[in-house]
Amino acid sequence: MTEENEERRRQRKVKRTVRLTTMEDAVLRVLADRAGLTIASYLRKSALKMPPPDTGRTPSIDRQMASQLMAAIGEVATAFRDAAHLVDPQLAETTMNSINEYRIVVFESLGRAP
């Protein structure tokens, strides 16, 4: 943490409470997670137009697992493409379509476009 961020953090003595619906809370969590920020940092950045802290927070375990799954899907797709000539062409096409569908789902879970 930079000296400036440390100083800014020490100055935060006022705490505000807000009530949210379950849906509002879920949306807020997703938006903060996509931005790679804590909810408090995301709210400060959004409402007060303050810059986020210099150090990014560690991605949630869900994002880490989704990223690992994306890497595994890539490895499977590559291995299958390399061996596709050994199976029926229709089966190869169906399998690659399924792999691509999984890939799209994981991309969307990360909030990214395929």
- Residue 2 tokens read as 């930079």
Please report whether residue 53 resides in a domain. no
Q: Quick one: tokens of 27?
A: 């949306």
**99: domain range?**
61-109
Three-state DSSP at 73 gives helix
Rounded CA-CA distance 77/100 in Å is: 8
- How many domains would you assign to the chain? 2
75 and 43 within one domain = no
Report if residue 92 sits inside a domain: yes
Q: Which amino acid is at 114?
A: P
89 belongs to a structural domain:
yes
Per-residue pLDDT tens over the stretch 12-67: 788 889 998 988 888 888 888 877 788 888 898 888 887 766 655 556 667 778 88
pLDDT at 74 over 80: yes
